[in-house]
Amino acid sequence: MGRLTTHVLDTARGAPAAGVRIDVEKPGSSSPLKRAVTNANGRTDAPLLEGAELAAGTWRIVFHVGEYFRARGDKDAGRFLEDVPIVFIVDDPAAPYHVPLLVSPWSYSTYRGS
């Protein structure tokens, strides 16, 4: 059964990023299909999408990192990054898709994890 998962690591602190709001969208839609918030481990409590929810096609995950850094009192919050949208393609809905985000107030990186 396919599923979409994520986790967020705060590379400025070297720790999981708890409390990051995440929206899952189909590009072109007017509202998120799903919303979640990362837990103490920087992960969501359940997969973002799974089973029939995870259809083939183009998807977008938006990580609201500006909110996260402001809530932490980071002096650099919102000076460069506000939202990080990751647009990716699901070509096999039966497969697992793990889209992690490594982020600081100044940069981010992602990859297809396992």
Q: Please report, for the chain, the start and end positions of each structural domain, with discontinuous segments joined by +.
A: 3-110
Confidence of residue 110 (pLDDT cuts 50, 70, 90): very high
What are the structure tokens assigned to 85, written together?
């949208």
Token pair 């402001």 in the structure block, residue: 70
Other beta carbons within 10 angstroms of residue 38's beta carbon come to 23
Ordered DSSP codes for 31-67: S-SEEEE--TTSB-SS-SEEGGGS-SEEEEEEEEHHH
Mean pLDDT of the chain: 96
Q: pTM for the complete prediction?
A: 0.96
Determine the pLDDT at residue 28.
Answer: 83
CATH for 3-110 is 2.60.40.180
pLDDT at 30 over 90: no
